[in-house]
Structure 1
């Protein structure tokens, strides 16, 4: 179900500032962090997928979302691993692993090794970097290939 034919050209910063909210721009383009428990998706329990707010590239599924108690949306794994890349982050006087989107190079959040078994991964992601596509809108939004994930 991966989207190997994804093509995206990142807009110039002025275009992004016009298209995104101030918080979305700060988080995705300046490695910002939104407040815990005060963001759109930390407590979202609806079925669907999460895509990059800048590019629309598929990132995570509600099927892999869990309540980490952190106040940010947390996932055990990416839905489309090819759309995620990780890099060392030495900011804030600590060693962390930053998570960025592949095509838009948006800052998404961080990944930690304290998630639930069996993977023990916790992708702690800023809601401001995401757009949620509910299950019922997957087809109309162009993500119909992901409907099969939610069929029982």
Structure 2
């Protein structure tokens, strides 16, 4: 019986330290723009900080950018990097601004497992700010991808 208990404790310790249990983050990655948390808190609103720096999610249908149909570019709210073009935006019905493609090279991707299953997480490639997640249920006529992005992570710059 003692051997079974030792075996159980051993297996439990291995499974709890498995990489499958760890969240992949960008903490080890370096980005062209880096600031202290205090600097980010000073620069961003509370809502932007929650989304961009703490990987939070805004309430669905709360962002005015969700129903914005003007022509322009959506930039990172933290560092002003252009991320998405208005011509690639579509109404997914999800309650968050959705795009079928990103501006190539300006969005970085990672893995998020914090809610119990794996999702493709999106970050600004310049500052590492959390943007949202990518899903394979976008428009079939274009890319089939849905970039589900928090409006608080974005600043809209209209075309002139």
> Please, what TM-score do these two structures have when normalized by structure 1?
0.81
Summarize the alignment of residues 1-152 of structure 1 with structure 2, pairs less than 5 Å apart. 8-79=32-103, 81-117=104-140, 118-136=142-160
- Cα deviation per residue 1:97-143 (whole Å; 9 max; x = unaligned)? 0001111000000000000023100000000111110112xxxxxxx
Greater radius of gyration (CA): 2
Gaps of 5+ in 2: 1-30
SS of structure 2 residue aligned to 1:16: helix
* d(CA) in 2 for partners of 1:10, 1:60: 22
Contact 1:8–1:55 (Cα < 8 Å) also in 2 = no
Deviation at 1:8, TM superposition (A): 4.7
Deviation at 1:60, TM superposition (A): 0.1
* d(CA) in 2 for partners of 1:101, 1:26: 15
Q: How many equivalent pairs are there?
A: 129
Deviation at 1:11, TM superposition (A): 2.3
Gaps of 5+ in 1: 1-6, 137-152
* d(CA) in 1 for partners of 2:82, 2:152: 15
Q: 1:111 to 1:16 in 2, by over 3 A?
A: same
Moved over 4 A (4+): none
* d(CA) in 1 for partners of 2:34, 2:68: 28
> CA-atom RMSD, angstroms?
1.3
> Please, what TM-score do these two structures have when normalized by structure 2?
0.77
